[in-house]
Structures are given as C-alpha cells and as structure tokens.
Chains A and B, each alone.
Chain A
C-alpha cells in the first residue's frame, strides 16, 4: 500500500466520524418540492361520495364508506398490555374493516414513547392518520408547521356522528381547538365527567387489618401506616423487607401528597391564577414531608432507578410493597388478577386523598370531556374525505360499541339491550389478565379516538373483584378547578416556553430529588424559588396565564 493510499484510508474514518455527528439531522429534505398538498376543501375531491350499493346509515354516515376496498395507513403505539403485534388482530378492527370496507395498515411503535413519535414527525413521511397522547398540546404546533390537516370543514361535511357530539356538548369544541382556531385532532371523549377514570392511592388493606390499623385519613396517618408497614413485618416472613411506598416516578408520589399541602408538582391553577408548584412557598412542606418518608426508608429508596411498571409489579406480587398510586385497571386490577389464588389474604383498597396539616383534602384531576390523546390526519393524505368518514365511524353508536366491547357474540352479549362481556373475557383461562384478553377483542376504553363507554369500566372493575367503585369514594374530593386544562400555545408563546422550561425542568427534577434524598437542605427553600425566578419562571407563567385565559374564554 503506498503512502497516499494509506493516508486516505486513515482519513476516511475521520471524515465519517464528523459526518455521523451531523447525520441525525439529514434525510428530511425529501419533501421540499411537494407543494401540491391535498386540498382541504372537500368540493375538489373526487366524487366517491355517491352512495355505495347496499349501503346503510350508521348515525347519518353511509357505510360501507367506499365501494372498492381502500387502504389507509395509521401510526400508533401498540401499548404495553396488548399481547399481539398488530391492531388488525383485534376482532373489533376486523369487523370494522368489514363494515367500512376500509383496510387500515397499522404502523406500530412498540412503546408509547415521545421519542418514537417525535422521530416520526421529523421524518416528514407521514401516514394518513397519526395517534398521539399529547395532541392536546402538540396539535397546534404541528398544525402550524403544516403537518396536520385542519379538520373543521371536513367534520362539517363528512362527520355527522362527531358533529352531533360537538353540537350537543358545546364545551368540547373549545377543548380541541388550537389557538389559531383550527381542530387538528379527534379526541378520546368521556361525555360525563363524573365517569372519568382517575389515579388514586391504593393500599394493601389486608396489611392494614393485620396490623390493627385503619385506612389513613391524613398525611400523618399515612406516615404512621407506612412506618408500621416498615417495622411490624406485615408479610410475616420474619424479614424487614417491606417497601412501604413504591412508585414508578416522583410525579405519582407528588399527585398523592402535594394537594394535601395546597400545591402540585407541575403547573396548577390557584383561584384563576396559573402557578408552578416548586415555585410556591408551600412546596417546601411537601419536600420536607417526603424527605421524612425517604429518611426512614418508608419511600422506596430505589425509586429513582426502578422506574418501570415491571419492577413495581414485581415488588407488589412478591409481597413486599405496601402502597402505591395508580390507575384502577392497570394497577389495581392487574395486581388482583395476578395474585388470584397465590396468596391467602392479598387485598387492595382505595384510600381517600390524605388531609394535610392545614386541612386541605383534595384530589387534583381533570374533567374535560376531550382527552389530549386521539387521532390526527396528516396533511399528506390523498383521501381526506374517506379518512374523515372512517374517523367519524369511531363515534357512531356502532363504532363506540365495537371499540369498547368488540364483536357481539364473540366478546359480549346483549342482555336487555345492554352489552355484557362474556365470562371468558372477564375471567380468561388462557393465562392472560382480563385487560390483556380484552385487548384481543377491542381497542379498550379510554385510549382511542372514540367515546369511552362507562359500562366498560364498570364491568372490568367488578370482574377485578372491586365491588365498590373507587371513583365513588373519590367523588367528594376531586378538585377540578386546580387542574391546569390542556392549554395550547401559539408559536410565539411556544418559542418562549420551550427553551426556558428545558432548563427549569432539569433544575427542578435535580433539586427536588436531592432535597427529598437529603443530599441538599430544604431549609432555605427561598433559594430554590429565587433560582427559579432567575431562570425565567415568571416569563413562562405569563405565557401559561395567557393560554389559560384563552382556554377559559372559549
């Protein structure tokens, strides 16, 4: 090999190192020339709207939607509890394809990760329909970029079912409209806000009974109960291996305790004013309380490392976890079914929100019928009319039943006109939990752009052995007004909020965790607040206030 060649051979890898560094941003220029975006005005579309032969009406929507089978693509995470690989394995979607004559090519990411979504959106190559669980805040941003199709006109023209819901629940329109006045996504809807599922504290009630305690009412009761869990060996194995309070993240712990001290971990509303929890003097008490729990090993000392639901499940099912904060189905229901027949006394009960030292006793939660998650239509779609009709089908009575209950005769029967799950769904014998088995039949309530049916949640709860509805216990404590609504920012507001919050979030996560773990003193909490001021929290709050008022004005 001559000298020049050798030099070249060595130089190439060097150049590639440089190239590799910047390559992450490439490959996005493929659509620079495609200005011929599909027309949003429906009149310009082809005349496929002529009624298809043999068609019928589903709440005003003609089905099948098309005469010749049409294929649409849809991106969506497949979700942790779904055992299959593709949503077309669900019987409800197979039936839906038969009813609408539209085949959906599902593109799945395995996780509901913000990263996978972000990469999809930056690729510039979009499927017809896109799922996201943050459309409430993201849709305005991506809409303004031109990635999403504004849907107002399409809804008026082609979505009789969804329009009917909008007309009968006027609040919803405001909840899903962007600051520029466009609707960019169709949300998951819970039409009666009392039916909303909530996260709530769950306690090993058999432990409570065994130790002769009562269910905790105040933050002090919580401390005493957790301490008893730690010291009195409720699992009876002779070892001090109990972890009284477990969690997958700090947020859940904060949702449990912060309202008792009058604040929240993130943004919240206090008498019409948007505030940021860590920037509130009362937050010091939350940190002090959690520090006390951590110091005495009542809060899982490994909570920063064990952040997966899997590790939490392991702790619960190996009989070492005493309390946690989670959903009714995926936490309480899963654990109960997993432990069925494996433990003599295993029992979980919902606890009421703890009362704080100043008498605050509330559960801060949302009440908006429209959830932040749902389906948006990409601006690249060649079939806006058919996409809209397919989306509208999800809100027809037929579609709601399919999405929540599956196919009649296969997963449910009609009893006196009411859908009732078959026993093999609520008590599966194939080794799956009922949540998992249900997802083989349906999309499951609460996650799809459809109307969540309360009869679904109720039957699953009862199947999980929870005779009393935890939400009933909670009803009196839910503080809807303190929850910040899913506000949307204009592009200018976004430009201010995003960079400031990037640093602030890093600072807060770091500082609060250090204070809870006792690595940093919380005595001079003023310093934290001063620092937050310096980092521009005031400026951020101003934008939030504006967005909040815009939301209220709607």
Chain B
C-alpha cells in the first residue's frame, strides 16, 4: 500500500524540479484514463461544438446550395423579423409560463417523491413504486401523446373519473380548451418524469452517512427532525445544482410534445417559440429565421443560468462554477 503512494510523491517531486520543460510523463502514466476520456471529447467536438459554427446563418440569408460561407450576410434582419412578429410577446409569455410551471411543479414533486420513497420501510412496495413511476419515461413520446389524447377525450378515463366522483357534470373537451393546455402539459410531464427525476435524489440520499441518523435517534430526534436536520441538508447541494441547471434550460420547452397535442383552438396558450419556429422555419423552409430565434432563446437561457448560479453562490455557496 505504501509503496505506490511514495512513488507518486517521488513522481510529483520530480515534476516540480523539471518545470521548465513540459513533461508527457503524467499523461503517459495515465494514458488509459485519457484514452477513456477521448471518445467523450471527440463526441463533444464533433457533434456539439462543430455544429455551433452553423449558428452564424442567423445573420445570413441562408441558402443550403450556396453553403454557410456562400450565403450573403444580412445582419440582424432575422432577429428584427422575430421581434416585430405579431405574436412575439405571446410566444415569449407562453414559453416562459410553460417552462416556469414545469419547474415550479415537477422539480419539487420529484424531490418530494424521492423523500417519500426513502421513508418507506417496505422494500417490496418501494421497488414496486419505483418501477411503476419509471415506466412512462421509457415510452416513446408519440405513444405518450396518443395516451394523453385518449385519456382526455370526452369518454376518456379522466372525464369518466371526474364524472364518476361528481366533480363535473359534463365531460370537458380538455384538448380543445386553451385554459387546460398548460395543466395537461405540466401534468403529463410530471407523470412522465417524476420517477426518473427522483433517481438522482435517491442516489444522493443513499450517500448520507447512516451514523448521522443513529446519532440523531440517540438524541431523541423523530422522523421529521431527521428529515429537516439530516436528509435535506445532506442532499441540498445536489438539489441546488439541479435547480441551477434547470433554470438554465428554462426556455426550452418540449416542442415535439406541444406539436403533437396542440391545435388552432389552443394556440392562445400552447403556441411557444419553438413551435412557432417549427411552423415557420421547417415548414416554410426559412432556416435563417429559425436559427436566429434559436440563438435568441439560447442567449436568454445562458443569461438565466449565469444569474441562477450567481444567486446560488452568494446565498448558499453551492454553485456550478
């Protein structure tokens, strides 16, 4: 045991003495670790960073046959077109509200679900609940939306249930009424992701030292005190990091789900930036315009991320960077 430790110390000492010339030795000695990193680095370079070059078409009048370099520059024209759009503020509002509600309801719900699962003493029931709650995560979105449409039909399960217990007297046309769209979107989102999102909290929970609980019990702490004084502080860093990351994607709503569920009757509340871009950019082949809108969306997300990170660092000393 002691030998490799000493060797490492000797190694680092050697390094320090040879600071002038860059040594490949540490890299060589860890070459298999670096090799394992390589695919990831390549993945990001090729599939994530290289495509970012394409973002410049937001400032161009892009023609796929002239290429990115060959298309003429148009400055901020595409951005102006978007800001001047008749529906700009509605799109912004819908996008923000849809994401905000998702964050507001799904984020704490996943946490609460994980905490409740953690308190369960019956091992079998716990794993059953976990499995059931993970399931929707593995179903394709197309199928999920088909199920949502079926569930919310006038003769569907939700209407039957509400009629059965007497909350409503007439079936509700959920998918046609704009006032229901956000509820359906967020509600089904919770159903889809609750179990899956709770995994990371369960992992964090299992990392808490059990001796803390034992000590607390000895001190006479009940379940509630254990929760507030050990469990919650124990997973707080995880919660905050996830929260910051979620804020950073605040304006990214799942456009594919909205497109599968919305219709002209619900545009008022359902139409978001990305669905607008889909109708405009993909269907009308206005690529530069959609790139500009996408870039605008990213810029706001980035600003929100930085802001959330700063607030978190100032208040709790937990932050991404």
B64 touches A147 (CB 8 A): yes
Determine the residue in chain A with the shortest Cβ distance to B86.
A503
B173 touches A25 (CB 8 A): no
Q: Is B48 an interface residue (CB 8 A)?
A: yes
Q: Is A415 an interface residue (CB 8 A)?
A: no
Q: Is B96 an interface residue (CB 8 A)?
A: no
A302 touches B64 (CB 8 A): no
Determine the residue in chain B with the shortest Cβ distance to A33.
B67
CA distance A119 to B321 in the complex (A): 38
CA distance A92 to B264 in the complex (A): 42
CA distance A12 to B54 in the complex (A): 20
A229 to chain B, nearest CB (A): 19
Contacting B51 at CB < 8 Å: which of A7, A27, A304, A509?
A27
CA distance A512 to B265 in the complex (A): 9
Contacting A10 at CB < 8 Å: which of B176, B291, B298, B321?
B321
B293 to chain A, nearest CB (A): 10
Contacts of A7 in B (CB 8 A): 320-321
Contacting A146 at CB < 8 Å: which of B47, B65, B287?
B65
CA distance A52 to B197 in the complex (A): 67
B52 touches A32 (CB 8 A): no
Q: Is B213 an interface residue (CB 8 A)?
A: no
A304 touches B263 (CB 8 A): yes
Q: Mark B38-49, 1 if CB is under 8 A from A, else 0.
A: 000000100111
Contacts A17-B301, A514-B265 given: A32-B286 contact, CB under 8 Å? no
Q: Mark B215-246, 1 if CB is under 8 A from A, else 0.
A: 00000000000000000000000000100010
Q: Give the contact stretch, choosing among B100-108, B119-127, B204-212, B277-285.
A: B277-285
Q: Is A122 an interface residue (CB 8 A)?
A: yes
Contacts A29-B53, A510-B264 given: A305-B176 contact, CB under 8 Å? yes
Contacting B268 at CB < 8 Å: which of A23, A510, A535?
A510
Contacts A307-B263, A513-B265, A514-B265 given: A379-B51 contact, CB under 8 Å? no
Determine the residue in chain B with the shortest Cβ distance to A502.
B280
Q: Is B69 an interface residue (CB 8 A)?
A: yes
Contacts of A23 in B (CB 8 A): 47-48, 51-52, 54
CA distance A353 to B30 in the complex (A): 81
By secondary structure, the A interface counts as helix
Contacts A17-B301, A146-B63 given: A302-B154 contact, CB under 8 Å? yes
CA distance A301 to B176 in the complex (A): 9
B residues 258-294 near A (Cβ < 8 Å) are 263-265, 267-268, 271, 279-280, 282-287, 289-291, 294
B residues 296-321 near A (Cβ < 8 Å) are 297-298, 301-302, 305, 320-321
Which of A7, A301, A502 has the most chain B CB atoms closer than 10 A to its own CB?
A502
Contacts A11-B321, A145-B63, A305-B176 given: A28-B265 contact, CB under 8 Å? no
A residues 360-394 near B (Cβ < 8 Å) are 379
Determine the residue in chain B with the shortest Cβ distance to A12.
B44
B86 to chain A, nearest CB (A): 4
Contacts of A507 in B (CB 8 A): 86
A32 touches B69 (CB 8 A): yes
A residues 113-135 near B (Cβ < 8 Å) are 114-115, 118-119, 121-124
Contacts of B321 in A (CB 8 A): 7, 10-11
Q: Is B55 an interface residue (CB 8 A)?
A: yes
CA distance A23 to B295 in the complex (A): 10
B92 to chain A, nearest CB (A): 15
Contacts of A50 in B (CB 8 A): none
A residues 1-50 near B (Cβ < 8 Å) are 7, 10-33
CA distance A190 to B295 in the complex (A): 47
Contacts of B151 in A (CB 8 A): none
Determine the residue in chain B with the shortest Cβ distance to A126.
B65
B301 touches A18 (CB 8 A): yes
A26 touches B51 (CB 8 A): yes
Q: Is B98 an interface residue (CB 8 A)?
A: no
Q: Is A238 an interface residue (CB 8 A)?
A: no
Contacts of B252 in A (CB 8 A): 17, 21
Determine the residue in chain A with the shortest Cβ distance to B68.
A29
Contacts A17-B248, A32-B69 given: A498-B44 contact, CB under 8 Å? no
Contacts A14-B245, A121-B64, A506-B271 given: A301-B154 contact, CB under 8 Å? yes
B69 touches A121 (CB 8 A): no
CA distance A541 to B239 in the complex (A): 55
Q: Is A499 an interface residue (CB 8 A)?
A: yes
A19 touches B86 (CB 8 A): no
Q: Is B81 an interface residue (CB 8 A)?
A: yes
Contacts A12-B44, A22-B291, A25-B287 given: A517-B176 contact, CB under 8 Å? yes
Q: Is B169 an interface residue (CB 8 A)?
A: no
Which of A14, A20, A121, A379 has the most chain B CB atoms closer than 10 A to its own CB?
A14
B residues 97-138 near A (Cβ < 8 Å) are none
Contacting A26 at CB < 8 Å: which of B50, B85, B279, B290?
B50
Contacting A121 at CB < 8 Å: which of B44, B70, B285, B289?
B285
Contacts A21-B252, A22-B295, A25-B294 given: A118-B283 contact, CB under 8 Å? yes
Contacts of A509 in B (CB 8 A): 264, 267
CA distance A499 to B298 in the complex (A): 23
Contacts A11-B320, A22-B55, A22-B291 given: A146-B66 contact, CB under 8 Å? yes
Q: Is B199 an interface residue (CB 8 A)?
A: no
Q: Is B87 an interface residue (CB 8 A)?
A: yes
B37 to chain A, nearest CB (A): 10
CA distance A67 to B220 in the complex (A): 94
B242 to chain A, nearest CB (A): 11
Contacting B64 at CB < 8 Å: which of A11, A12, A122?
A122
Determine the residue in chain B with the shortest Cβ distance to A508.
B264
Contacts of B49 in A (CB 8 A): 19
Closest 3 CB pairs of A and B: A26-B54, A26-B51, A32-B67
Q: A31-B67, A301-B176 are in contact. List 6 more A-B contacts (CB 8 A).
A: A26-B52, A28-B62, A118-B283, A305-B176, A307-B263, A513-B263
Write the residues of chain A forming the contact surface with B, with a CB cutoff of 8 angstroms. 7, 10-33, 114-115, 118-119, 121-124, 141, 145-147, 250, 301-302, 304-305, 307, 379, 498-499, 502-503, 506-507, 509-510, 512-514, 517, 519, 535
**11 A-B pairs (CB sep. < 8 Å):** A10-B321, A11-B320, A22-B294, A22-B295, A28-B57, A29-B67, A29-B68, A32-B69, A122-B64, A146-B63, A509-B267
